[in-house]
Structure 1
Amino acid sequence: MPDRTLLRTPSGSGRAVSDAGVVRDALGVGVAVGVSGFAFGITAAGSGISLAQAAVLSLLVFTGASQFALVGALAAGGNPLTAAAGAFFLGTRNAFYGLQLAQVLRLPRRMRPVAAHGVIDETSLVALAQPDRRSARIGFAVTGVTIYALWNLTTVLGVLGASALGDPEAWGIDAAGPAVFLALLAPMLRSRTERAVAATAVLLVLAGQPLLPAGVPVLVAVLAVPVTLALRERAPRTVGTADREEAAPPSGGEREEES
């Protein structure tokens, strides 16, 4: 099977995409995020969750943000139902990833149940960042397998070594997963509206953190979308025009003259 795939850019020029390059990048993301299972294992142990419970969460839930939200809310004394609700709503974003990935990957029907379990932030962003279907499939598979294997292994090691490692913040392990995700997400926020939604969500979480029960600020952050869209509708027409122009891809040809 050839190692390079030629694709056409919007301007009509071609460039080669290396399978080895996709694998290298996917492994980099997978390893960086997979080792964050240490932080989850340590956090789970500190929240009173047993090794078996933490292992089952990583094996079956396998969405880091939801797992951290659940054990973090429980550790802060939050209501179990509120903690579960926060984790659930965080996890629903993967359903929207799946809708887009279904069109990009076009996997055979027999492979879809297995692939669905691997639809998380990092696998989705790596796949969607690729310029063609072949590269997207490679990136999705390599990222998913790497993260799943390392996440489950390091979850167990984190629980077992919780007492020896101490506070995960002292090691910086807790920041590895979010840092990689933000690095992948930031270039995809191309329009003003997308950046405004992201910034509003951050502000809502920061404002709600000292005022609301554990797990609730994440739910409040969902309001960033309707709030931003409502403000955008009230803004002058020129703002919306600029937003559309910024989001539009560059054209490879000259603009047609008006008749």
Structure 2
Amino acid sequence: MAERTSRADIPSPVAPPDASVEGTDAGAVGDRPDSAVVRDALGVGIAVGLSGFAFGVTSAGSGLTVLQTCALSLLVFTGASQFALVGALAGGGNPFTAAAGAFFLGVRNAFYGLRLSQLLALPRAVRPFAAHWVIDETTAVSLAQRGRRGARIGFTVTGLSLYVLWNLTTLLGAVGAEAIGDTDAWGLDAAGPAVFLALLAPMVRTARERAVAAVAVLLGLGLLPVLPAGVPVLVAGLAVPIVLYGAGLRAQRTTRGNDR
């Protein structure tokens, strides 16, 4: 008599690997083609890298030499912090205050690094060099990919293209600013803030983010006449806890109202 086959003996079909799971390696189902990742990464790197020209002009206009300007881009390489530093210096701010504001803006990259270290899983020997490229753009491109291979390609191409182009256009902007003399007469002193706002605007999507931006603007502009240059930028950072505290209060009121 033939032995009966139970349901447990029938092998279940193996589900395809989920490419969205963190750490998925190359070849995962649904992973984007390498050419598509490279194209998007180059687009971001070139678009943002060209704004290094504005930084070079702004930095030279604030009194920094070409060598100092290029050193900032080579060694710091975080656009928002660089613009904050030279902007505070241009406004007559204390160098230590300007550096503090730039430092606090750059702290966010440390949190990016915590996320990317798990996603990219780079060899230990490479991590110190890769850390220099952990910025807004490389993080955004890496996190947009579906697998580890795509994330690594996106991070590398974005970082390399942006680093090379940013430093090249920084040099061109600084040399050009020295050649034309007074940048204020040409209105180039507004180039830095304009580029900074252009980079920031697409990131403000939700109502809470818009509230943070609005409170930060009110704090910064309101305190500008009474505080030393550079300090209002630091105080504007309080917009985040202020908005979060207000959101918490509204959530508590809503909960109490539903309980009644």
Give the TM-score, by structure 1 length: 0.77
Alignment partners' CA distance in 1, 2:253 and 2:104: 35
Q: CA RMSD in A?
A: 2.7
Cα distance change of structure 1 residues 43 and 169 upon mapping to structure 2, 3 Å threshold = closer
Q: Which residue of the other structure, out of 142, 150, 162, is the alignment partner of 2:165?
A: 150
Instruction: Specify the code of the residue in structure 2 equivalent to 1:61.
Output: V
Query: Residue 169 of structure 1: CA displacement?
Result: 6.2
Cα distance change of structure 1 residues 66 and 8 upon mapping to structure 2, 3 Å threshold = closer
Structure 2 match to 1:96? 111
Instruction: Specify the code of the residue in structure 1 equivalent to 2:187.
Output: D
Query: Residue 63 of structure 1: CA displacement?
Result: 0.9
| 2:88 maps to 1:68 | no
Q: Which residue of the other structure, out of 64, 72, 83, is the alignment partner of 1:49?
A: 64
| 2:51 maps to 1:36 | yes
Q: What does the per-residue CA deviation read over 1:130-187, in whole Å, with 9 as the maximum and x for residues that have no partner?
A: 22222211111111111110111111111111144843368x676345424543x346
Q: SS at the partner of 1:17?
A: coil
Q: Which residue of the other structure, out of 188, 194, 198, is the alignment partner of 1:175?
A: 194
Instruction: Specify the code of the residue in structure 2 equivalent to 1:37.
Output: G
Cα distance change of structure 1 residues 169 and 21 upon mapping to structure 2, 3 Å threshold = farther
8 Å CA contact retained: 2:20, 2:147: no
Q: Which has the larger radius of gyration?
A: 2
Query: Residue 200 of structure 1: CA displacement?
Result: 3.5
Higher deviation after alignment, 226-235 or 112-121: 226-235
Alignment partners' CA distance in 1, 2:200 and 2:37: 17
8 Å CA contact retained: 1:73, 1:215: yes
Query: Residue 41 of structure 1: CA displacement?
Result: 0.9
Give the TM-score, by structure 2 length: 0.76
| 2:152 maps to 1:159 | no
Q: Which residue of the other structure, out of 210, 226, 234, is the alignment partner of 1:219?
A: 234
Cα distance change of structure 1 residues 8 and 159 upon mapping to structure 2, 3 Å threshold = closer
1:179-258 alignment runs, 5 A limit: 179-183=198-202, 185-186=203-204, 189=206, 193=208, 196-237=211-252
Q: Which residue of the other structure, out of 125, 135, 143, is the alignment partner of 2:150?
A: 135
Query: Residue 222 of structure 1: CA displacement?
Result: 2.1
Alignment partners' CA distance in 2, 1:41 and 1:177: 13
Higher deviation after alignment, 214-223 or 231-240: 231-240
Q: SS at the partner of 1:214?
A: coil
Structure 2 match to 1:246? none
Q: What does the per-residue CA deviation read over 1:108-127, in whole Å, with 9 as the maximum and x for residues that have no partner?
A: 11110010000111111221
8 Å CA contact retained: 1:23, 1:139: yes
Q: Which residue of the other structure, out of 40, 44, 54, is the alignment partner of 1:25?
A: 40
Instruction: Specify the code of the residue in structure 2 equivalent to 1:78.
Output: G
Cα distance change of structure 1 residues 129 and 195 upon mapping to structure 2, 3 Å threshold = farther
Cα distance change of structure 1 residues 175 and 22 upon mapping to structure 2, 3 Å threshold = farther
Instruction: Specify the code of the residue in structure 1 equivalent to 2:54.
Output: A
Higher deviation after alignment, 195-204 or 142-151: 195-204
Alignment partners' CA distance in 2, 1:94 and 1:124: 9
| 2:136 maps to 1:121 | yes
8 Å CA contact retained: 1:121, 1:181: no
Alignment partners' CA distance in 2, 1:199 and 1:133: 37
8 Å CA contact retained: 1:32, 1:176: no
Cα distance change of structure 1 residues 201 and 128 upon mapping to structure 2, 3 Å threshold = farther
Structure 2 match to 1:245? none
Q: Which ranges of structure 1 fall in alignment gaps of 5 or more residues?
A: 1-5, 241-259
Query: Residue 208 of structure 1: CA displacement?
Result: 3.6
